[in-house]
Amino acid sequence: MAKRLLSLSVVFLLVIATLLGCASSNESANSSSNGEEDRSKGEAKKEKNGGVVNVYTSRAYETDQELYKLFEKQTGIKVNVVEGKGDELMERLKIEGEATEADVFITADAGNLYVAKESGLLQPIESETIFNNIPDKYRDDENYWFGITKRARVIVYAKDRVNPSDLSTYEALTDDKWKGKIVVRSSENMYNISLLSSFIEVMGEEKATEWAQGIVNNMARDPQGNDRDQAKAVVAGEADLAIMNTYYIGLMLNSNDPEEVKVGKSVGIFFPNQETTGTHINVSAAAVTKYAKNVENAIKFIEFLTSEQAQGKFAAVNYEYPVNPNVEPSELLKSWGEFKEQDIDLTVLGKNQQQAIRIFNQVGWK
């Protein structure tokens, strides 16, 4: 009897084990099926939304944010943005390497883009849309970066103390009559490095050195502050002239700060070298990063930024000159007049950087 009971118990346990095994198998199968279903839904949702594009940018303008939202609305591609200074973002790209999530790098100054390219942080792209939107002179000669806006580095003068007819060229700023009357940013500023790099190209190194020395001799104070601070110094009477970028005047004239508006109205803009080599211009530009995970979306994003729609927004709200020839400057920019640009390949702004830095150090431009 005991033996029979033992046999029945063994059979009962085997049945229970079999049932549990089947339940486990069904649960595993359902789990696997649900997982695949969730993944499929996720992929479908991503495809429906157009995916993402991750942007590292040194441009912290409301205009840019508005354009990113417009791009999202038109394409369904989500734009994720990381803001920072250009050199810091380049260092981050170096550290992250292949693991970076960045697809697009945007920064001001062709000199910075040259450094990014030479550091192996970018990749060339092919897009007939971009090629049609942006003239050769505003993009890298190997298609590593593309200008999205341009700005001129001009002479800004005090309207109440300077007659613009007394102004002519960058070189004339070294004349003794301007001694103690010029303010300008530090030699470490990329805008000034690129300005001098352009002079090395059009004047030669010797003349460029003479120019830098002449500016140092005529400075009203040691270099300090940003471009807006130079205009403020002129209006405050610390100097009569400043070297700065045009769009800062546009931003000041339309600022919410009454003092900045007052400064903007008190200074005039003069485009130098109209009878000779032309006024220095530079760009903000966009590039696809070397290890971009969303290259197709990155290209679509840059195509959008170079489109007539986006270029018009840059010009109207941020007071930068469009690089797309089909887009006219804003009314404010038109009021400053047309001007002749330097006729140089912008890549030389990067190639001549080290020479420019040596010259600045040599002449004592702080």
**Using alpha carbons only, how large is the chain's radius of gyration in Å?**
29
Query: Residue 254 above 80 pLDDT?
Result: yes
Query: Residue 26 above 60 pLDDT?
Result: no
| Residues 131-145: tens digit of each pLDDT | 999 999 999 999 999
Query: Residue 236 above 50 pLDDT?
Result: yes
Q: Which pLDDT does position 3 carry in this prediction?
A: 39
364: confidence class by pLDDT, cuts 50, 70, 90:
very high
Tokens of 59: 């441009």
In the DSSP assignment, the letter for residue 330 is: P
Tokens of 122: 């970018």
CA 285 – CA 86 distance, rounded (Å)? 11
| Residue 219 · residue 184 · CB < 8 Å | yes
49: confidence class by pLDDT, cuts 50, 70, 90:
low
Nearest C-alpha neighbor of 244 from the set 259, 218, 225, 222: 225
Q: Which pLDDT does position 28 carry in this prediction?
A: 41
Contacts with 265 (C-beta within 8 Å, 6 or more apart), sequence order: 253
Computed over every residue of the chain, the mean pLDDT equals 89
Query: Residue 8 above 50 pLDDT?
Result: no
Domains, the chain, ranges and CATH?
Answer: 51-149+283-329 (3.40.190.10), 151-280+342-363 (3.40.190.10)
Sequential DSSP letters for 318-332: H-PBPSSTTSPPPHH
CA 65 – CA 55 distance, rounded (Å)? 11
Q: Which pLDDT does position 317 carry in this prediction?
A: 86
CA 84 – CA 60 distance, rounded (Å)? 8
Q: Is 247 annotated as a binding residue?
A: yes
Q: Which pLDDT does position 50 carry in this prediction?
A: 78
CA 270 – CA 257 distance, rounded (Å)? 24
| Residues 147-188: tens digit of each pLDDT | 999 999 999 999 999 999 999 999 999 999 999 999 999 999
Query: Residue 357 above 60 pLDDT?
Result: yes
**Across 28-37, average pLDDT:** 44
| Residues 274-323: tens digit of each pLDDT | 999 999 999 999 999 999 999 999 999 999 999 999 999 998 888 999 99
| Residues 66-124: tens digit of each pLDDT | 999 999 999 999 999 999 999 999 999 999 999 999 999 999 999 999 999 999 999 99
Q: Which pLDDT does position 32 carry in this prediction?
A: 43
Q: Among residues of the chain, what percentage have pLDDT more than 70?
A: 87
CA 20 – CA 22 distance, rounded (Å)? 5
Question: How far is the CA of 336 from the CAs of 66, 73, 156, 331, in angstroms?
Answer: 26, 34, 12, 9
Q: Tell me the backbone φ, ψ of residue 76, rounded to 5 degrees.
A: 80, 5
Q: Is 248 annotated as a binding residue?
A: yes
Q: Which pLDDT does position 64 carry in this prediction?
A: 95
Sequential DSSP letters for 90-115: HHHHHHHGGG----EEEEE-HHHHHH
Choose between 197 and 60: higher pLDDT: 197
Nearest C-alpha neighbor of 153 from the set 216, 112, 197: 197
Quote the distance between the C-alpha of residue 73 and its chain's center.
22
